[in-house]
Structure 1
Amino acid sequence: MRMKNIESGDQAARLKRLYGDVRDIYLSDARPWVVGYSGGKDSTTALQIIWTAISALPPEKRTKTIFVISSDTLVETPVVSNYIDVSLKRIAEAAVEQSMPVITRKVVPDVDRSFWVNLIGRGYPAPSRRFRWCTERLKIEPANDFIRSRVAEFGEIIMVLGVRRQESATRAQVMSLHRIEGSRLLKHSSLLNAYVYAPIAEFSTDEVWSYLLQNASPWGNDNRDLVAMYRNAASGECPLVVDTSTPSCGNSRFGCWVCTVVERDKAMEAMIDSGEEWLTPLLEFRDKLSETQDPKRKLEFREFRRRAGGVTFIKGTDRVMPGPYTMDFRRKLLRELLETQRQVAREAPAGEAPILIHEAELQEIRRLWRTERGDWEDSVPRIVRETLGRDPDFKEPDWINEDAVAFTAEDGELLEMICSDNDVPPELVMRLLDIERASHGLKRRHAVHTRIEEAFKLEWRDYETVVAERRNALGVAWNGLAREAEVDEELELPFDGEELAR
């Protein structure tokens, strides 16, 4: 790769001016800085420039805190995740040794917003280009929550981001739109009292790599390792995302290992070809998720009812707009995920085996299945025992309290038999019993009647009955009923209005 030498001639003078600008902005006020660090080339360059400039100040002038935050979606590609963990540890240690006012933080999504809780717990379909529900929950919200907490503490903050105009025309347009006249800062696109400083805004890709290879990492990383990682992953990175204008991770190489926004995970394939064969089970699991996006096969994996309980048809047709993954498929996904975790743990290099799903996520999935889906058989702990050979490490009070009032698998089998004899949907009766159970012991039960009424308003009929009614409504002359149109149903209507509105 041909690179410009940014240390020579005018470029060296330009870099000297940049260091001066960093120090001027740092010393101009008391607003703390929050540096977005993704571990990729751009964010590493930005942080290294900030570090080098501030370290030239006398220790007594390094009074303003610099937070270095990294966003962990909990489904990051393990090789990249390990690299970031090691880097953050080195940054924190170097900050102490060099008397730098740097504090590192890793931000993660809340448990109830995590990828697996949404996909397996609530049944959200694998993300696609037209229904990318993951970015906001996994990246934007955790980073913005941290920024808001610092704004609440200090009044205003400055975000330092490794964004460049040459990334894309859209990025250049957004940066120009939020420019502050007479200032080197930009307005943040969505967060009040947050400003953006982009020290490498005018850098080209060649200049970024040239800087990294000509300047040693202040915290002890070897930037050649970063070059090698890019080569192994066919280049690209997943930036810290703090608003919807930030380039999507879907088209980058260092994204989540479960990403189904792209047709093929070329980064993972390249890493495996480069010697990381232990990642193969992750790629195979990701490809299985991708298969569920085939328009012709969606109803193999997903319910015909929406999460809110109704049925929606694509306008003018009898084609049902699929809802969440079925409970049977969710159980299958959980089992295969845990089996993948066990297989990767056996094959990964020492110390690199990732935790694919955390205990807190398993517990939240269990809660959702039991409270929303009437999972009387209590599938989660059973699946954990059968795949991992151990009991899940759930919090004991929740475990005991839930079991004390829960129905059992035997109760479910008996109910199925009685409902079958009386031609009554067992799911409806389960819902009614769960409503009653949830209100047991309450002194005021006026809300119970409302919830029961709402339950009866949901669609409890089977698929064939609902579709037949739709066909009758369309008229006998309609002849396009069975066509397999290549339609992405999520384009027509939000998957779950109540969830998306949170």
Structure 2
Amino acid sequence: MSNKTIQDIYAEIQEVYQRFPQPWVIGYSGGKDSTTVLQLVWYALAQLPESKRQKHVYVIASDTKVETPLIVGHINSTLSLINDQARQQGMPFSATKVEPVLNDTFWVNLIGRGYPAPTTRFRWCTERLKIRPSTRFIQEKVTAFGEVILILGIRKAESSTRMQLMNSYQIGEHVLRRNGSTPGAYVYAPIADMSTDEVWSYLQQVKSPWGGDNRKLVALYRNASAGECPLMIDESAPSCGSSRFGCWVCTVAERDYAMEAMIDNGEEWLEPLLELRDFLAMTSDPDRKLEYRDIRGRDGRVVFKKDGTAAARTFKLEVSKDILRKLLTIDKSVREKGIKLIDETELAEIRRIWRIERQDWGDSVAQIYLDIFGIKPQWIDDDDEYFGENEKELLVSICKEHSVPYEIVAKLIEVERSSFGMARRANVFREIRKILHEEWRSKIRSLTQSQLQI
């Protein structure tokens, strides 16, 4: 800790708080580092007279909606305690969760649009699930106040990469650092020079000021042997897989050691989640990709690699159905614990995407839900808006008779249906041209099967 005492850190926090007028935003992830930062700030400000702690401190926790269930419960209870105790103690804190918008959620993109499981080369999830929600909140505050100061639980001792990144954004000898991705935001890292042992020592010796139990946090780590996933405001940070508390569906890391450790330590109910995560990871195996993924992307085009073979792109619709079936089966089994792995708005959006973009006229989402839960989904109220199984059977037979791919005609019909009654047709013609320029040649479409046989 570079000869700094805890009281020295308190004094530094007080000096920064009083010197700069910008409001503070603390990134809280539920792990040891962000908990330490929040605790340090709380105790430091509590030592100031009430007249000098009028500047607001926003505490935000990023909920990707696919966080490890155990950490979700811990975060929710902590945010509630922070808000309650801030009111009772007259502290300038308010805590809230930030989430991805519906269009950006993991399941809407992976199951709905058929995005492949994230990998180191295609990490489409980080921007959508973590960066955008936090950035949106921060930018709202920048718009309202001109500038903000982000208080983050990042430490140089985490890795040499982290140290280099933190040093590169340092402003001279100042404690504030530039934020490389959000104009108008500065970063303050009170525990930058603390070691992991010092962090744990502080948490075990100093009680939580909002009434939380740091022993439970210690137990979480003991059971998971894990690090934590910090608030992410740019993509330079590493993935939160491997030994970190992060998304339970993370396939960027080879294995989810944290969840494996939790299961080994008695949380057997997490096994189905780990199995689904491992299945998703397996679909990116180079030797098996084409079993699960189509060679045509969402844009309808085929991309060829340097060796002349077609690249695997989005999940096949049947594979998406299988993933949804697996997910809802697990979701049903964990609901007795008060956990929901996917919500109704996501299911409704997946259904809409499948019916409009993936020609699922058979309404598979509703049928899969009915098969698993035994009841008709309550969120379905638009059955007259789309075509159904009867129309699909008729169209398939007509297309087969004329040797025309069913999908192209279904897409063209969908464009006309969705634009019915529009006065201007320019966008309609643009969509029609786009569909006609997709790859529909039977020779190309048969590549998947031929590559699988090689």
TM over 0.5: yes
3-state secondary structure, aligned to 1:38: coil
Q: 1:18 aligns with which of 9, 14, 38?
A: 9
2:237 matched to 1:246?
Answer: yes
1:24 CA drift (Å): 0.9
Residue 267 of structure 2 is matched in structure 1 by 276
* Contact 2:243–2:256 (CA under 8 A) maintained in structure 1: no
2:332 matched to 1:342?
Answer: yes
**Inter-partner Cα distance in structure 2 for 1:248 and 1:259:** 8
1:205 CA drift (Å): 0.8
* Contact 2:290–2:452 (CA under 8 A) maintained in structure 1: no
Residue 443 of structure 1 is matched in structure 2 by 423
Q: 1:414 aligns with which of 394, 400, 406?
A: 394
3-state secondary structure, aligned to 1:249: coil
**Inter-partner Cα distance in structure 1 for 2:189 and 2:89:** 24
Q: How many residues align?
A: 453
* Contact 2:225–2:243 (CA under 8 A) maintained in structure 1: no
**Unpaired runs of 5+ in structure 2?**
none
Deviations 1:445-464 (A, max 9, x none): 23333322222111113366
* Contact 1:281–1:344 (CA under 8 A) maintained in structure 2: no
**Inter-partner Cα distance in structure 2 for 1:450 and 1:213:** 63
* Contact 2:229–2:246 (CA under 8 A) maintained in structure 1: yes
Residue 220 of structure 2 is matched in structure 1 by 229
**Inter-partner Cα distance in structure 1 for 2:142 and 2:375:** 44
**Inter-partner Cα distance in structure 2 for 1:205 and 1:286:** 29
Per the alignment, do residues 221 and 463 of structure 1 end up closer, same or farther by CA in structure 2, a change over 3 Å counting? farther
1:220 CA drift (Å): 1.2
3-state secondary structure, aligned to 1:404: coil
Residue 247 of structure 2 is matched in structure 1 by 256
Q: 2:185 aligns with which of 144, 169, 194?
A: 194
3-state secondary structure, aligned to 1:68: strand
2:441 matched to 1:461?
Answer: yes
Residue 346 of structure 2 is matched in structure 1 by 361
1:483 CA drift (Å): 9.8
Deviations 1:84-133 (A, max 9, x none): 11111111111111110000010000011000001001100111121111
1:465 CA drift (Å): 5.8
Task: Write out aligned runs for 1:85-104 (5 A).
Answer: 85-104=76-95
Q: 2:289 aligns with which of 279, 298, 305?
A: 298
Residue 404 of structure 2 is matched in structure 1 by 424
**Inter-partner Cα distance in structure 1 for 2:237 and 2:152:** 11
Normalising to structure 1: TM-score of the pair?
0.87
**Inter-partner Cα distance in structure 1 for 2:115 and 2:439:** 19
Residue 490 of structure 1 is matched in structure 2 by none
* Contact 1:249–1:255 (CA under 8 A) maintained in structure 2: yes
**Inter-partner Cα distance in structure 2 for 1:462 and 1:388:** 39
Normalising to structure 2: TM-score of the pair?
0.96
Deviations 1:28-76 (A, max 9, x none): 1321100011011111111111011000011122100000100000000
Q: 2:375 aligns with which of 355, 380, 390?
A: 390
Q: Aligned AA for 1:389?
A: G
Residue 52 of structure 1 is matched in structure 2 by 43
**Inter-partner Cα distance in structure 2 for 1:281 and 1:206:** 34
Residue 478 of structure 1 is matched in structure 2 by none
2:139 matched to 1:154?
Answer: no
Q: 1:332 aligns with which of 315, 322, 336?
A: 322
1:467 CA drift (Å): 3.9
**Inter-partner Cα distance in structure 2 for 1:407 and 1:325:** 23
Q: Aligned AA for 1:144?
A: T
Per the alignment, do residues 299 and 199 of structure 1 end up closer, same or farther by CA in structure 2, a change over 3 Å counting? same
Per the alignment, do residues 60 and 391 of structure 1 end up closer, same or farther by CA in structure 2, a change over 3 Å counting? farther
Q: Aligned AA for 1:388?
A: F
Residue 373 of structure 1 is matched in structure 2 by 358
Task: Write out aligned runs for 1:307-322 (5 A).
Answer: 307-317=298-308, 319-322=309-312
**Inter-partner Cα distance in structure 2 for 1:451 and 1:248:** 37
Residue 498 of structure 1 is matched in structure 2 by none
* Contact 1:35–1:161 (CA under 8 A) maintained in structure 2: yes
* Contact 1:160–1:198 (CA under 8 A) maintained in structure 2: yes
3-state secondary structure, aligned to 1:186: strand
1:296 CA drift (Å): 1.2
**Inter-partner Cα distance in structure 1 for 2:175 and 2:110:** 42
3-state secondary structure, aligned to 1:200: coil
Deviations 1:165-210 (A, max 9, x none): 1111111111111111242100111111100100000001111111
**Inter-partner Cα distance in structure 2 for 1:235 and 1:191:** 29
3-state secondary structure, aligned to 2:26: strand
* Contact 1:171–1:245 (CA under 8 A) maintained in structure 2: no
**Inter-partner Cα distance in structure 2 for 1:63 and 1:182:** 27
**Inter-partner Cα distance in structure 2 for 1:435 and 1:356:** 33
Q: CA RMSD in A?
A: 1.9
**Inter-partner Cα distance in structure 2 for 1:288 and 1:369:** 22
* Contact 1:123–1:325 (CA under 8 A) maintained in structure 2: yes
Taking every aligned residue pair, what percent have the same amino acid on both sides? 50
2:313 matched to 1:323?
Answer: yes
**Inter-partner Cα distance in structure 1 for 2:118 and 2:307:** 26
Q: Aligned AA for 2:398?
A: I
* Contact 1:162–1:198 (CA under 8 A) maintained in structure 2: yes
1:246 CA drift (Å): 2.5
Task: Write out aligned runs for 1:41-120 (5 A).
Answer: 41-120=32-111
3-state secondary structure, aligned to 2:60: strand
1:248 CA drift (Å): 2.4
1:235 CA drift (Å): 2.2
**Inter-partner Cα distance in structure 2 for 1:286 and 1:89:** 30
1:157 CA drift (Å): 0.5
Per the alignment, do residues 372 and 49 of structure 1 end up closer, same or farther by CA in structure 2, a change over 3 Å counting? same
**Unpaired runs of 5+ in structure 1?**
1-5, 347-351, 472-480, 485-502
Residue 126 of structure 2 is matched in structure 1 by 135
**Inter-partner Cα distance in structure 2 for 1:283 and 1:421:** 46
Per the alignment, do residues 446 and 32 of structure 1 end up closer, same or farther by CA in structure 2, a change over 3 Å counting? closer
